[in-house]
Amino acid sequence: SVAGKTAIITGSTSGIGLGIAEEMAKAGVNVVLNSFTDSDEDHALAARIGKDHGVAARYIKADMSKAEDCRALIDQAGACDILVNNAGIQHVAGIEEFPTEKWDAIIAINLCSAFHTTAAALPMMRKAGWGRVINVASAHGLTASPYKSAYVAAKHGVVGLTKVTALETAQEPITANAICPGYVLTPLVEAQIPDTMKEYDMSREDVIKNVMLQRQPSKEFATVEQLGGTALYLCSDAAAQVTGTTISVDGGWTAL
Ligand code: NAD
């Protein structure tokens, strides 16, 4: 059972990371929450999760755009049975207009951070004799959309890194996999709805169905609870031979 293990979830004060942390805690996993801020709310959130589920929960500040912060997060946590690389940002612009600093930030946070945390966590997993690396990629780790060059490149990179991590740990009780969500209604996506309603002169429902979920055949968002459940499955004994692969949670997007 996964109860009593320690999970570090990067970028977990909101959205998918928070959902995964919550489902892990519900299953008895001790959790380390992370973001780049260090507010009272960050620590209160960890305390609330710990109290609700009777697990050890704490918040550690670390900026996933910085290599040394990524490694320090793992070191400071002191244990890492389950590593969930989830922190990510987005920027939408054509290649010619794409700001170099946005490209660099997206590659650093969405891709490089997973390399640094994995490098720091693998020795701990080897010492503990068990480990799970779960990378939150995206449907954009498998397919592309225009105007998302950095994001699509980073997410394809995450899928590649996942495969290499799996091969380097193949003969050990460690697995590495990527979860590829389609659209999930997180604060990040929610914030785009009002502007899109204005742009297209559409109702909220039409924006969701005909713009956002245009490529998601189910016409429904995936939920953060479902992604938490997927992460827990990857930690289960049933998934011990599941490694180096991707699991799509995208309502059929990548079947198109
Ligand atoms: P979100 O904005 O709700 O959450 C992102 C989290 O990352 C926040 O806690 C934020 O504080 C943190 N973060 C941002 N920059 C950071 C940094 N430099 N250092 C540390 N933490 C940082 O976003 P989300 O929608 O929950 O996305 C989470 C992950 O899921 C991302 O990797 C994203 O690409 C991926 N994803 C999201 C969707 C979706 O539809 N929402 C779909 C596919 C993949």
Render pLDDT for 132-162 as a digit per residue (tens, 0 to 9).
999 999 999 999 999 999 999 999 999 999 9
pLDDT score of 51: 98
Query: Residue 69 CA: which ligand 1 atom is closest?
Result: 19
**Domain 6-184+222-250, CATH number (from 2.60.40.1180, 3.20.20.70, 3.40.50.720, 1.20.1250.20):** 3.40.50.720
Residues 145 and 140: their CA atoms lie apart, in Å, by: 7
Q: Maximum CA pair distance of the chain? A: 57
Answer yes or no: is the C-beta of 141 below 6 A from any ligand 1 atom: no
Does residue 233 carry a catalytic annotation? no
ipTM: 0.99
Rounded to the nearest whole angstrom, what is the distance from the C-alpha of residue 17 to the centroid of ligand 1? 7
Contact 256/217 with Cβ under 8 angstroms?
Answer: yes
Nearest residue (CA) to ligand 1, atom 2: 188
Answer yes or no: is the C-beta of 113 below 6 A from any ligand 1 atom: no
pLDDT score of 56: 98
Look up tokens 């990524």; give the residue: 70
Render pLDDT for 8-40 as a digit per residue (tens, 0 to 9).
999 999 999 999 999 999 999 999 999 999 999
Rounded to the nearest whole angstrom, what is the distance from the C-alpha of residue 11 to the centroid of ligand 1? 6
Contacts 24+ apart (CB under 8 A), 88-91: 88/11, 88/136, 88/138, 88/151, 88/154, 90/148, 90/151, 90/188, 91/150, 91/151
Q: What percent of the chain has pLDDT over 70?
A: 100
Query: Residue 66 CA: which ligand 1 atom is closest?
Result: 18
- 59, 151, 183, 200: the catalytic one is 151
When pLDDT is cut at 50, 70 and 90, the band that residue 89 belongs to is: very high
pLDDT score of 132: 99
pLDDT score of 72: 98
When pLDDT is cut at 50, 70 and 90, the band that residue 195 belongs to is: confident
Nearest residue (CA) to ligand 1, atom 34: 88
Answer yes or no: is the C-beta of 179 below 6 A from any ligand 1 atom: no
When pLDDT is cut at 50, 70 and 90, the band that residue 192 belongs to is: confident
Query: 186, 223, 230: which to mutate for ligand 1, most atoms within 8 A of CB?
Result: 186
Average pLDDT over residues 176-201: 92
Residue 211, pLDDT above cutoff 90: no
All CATH 3.40.50.720 domain ranges of the chain, comma separated, are 6-184+222-250
Which residues on neighbouring strands pair with residue 180, listed in sequence order? 248
* Single-letter amino acid code for the residue at 212: M
pLDDT score of 24: 98
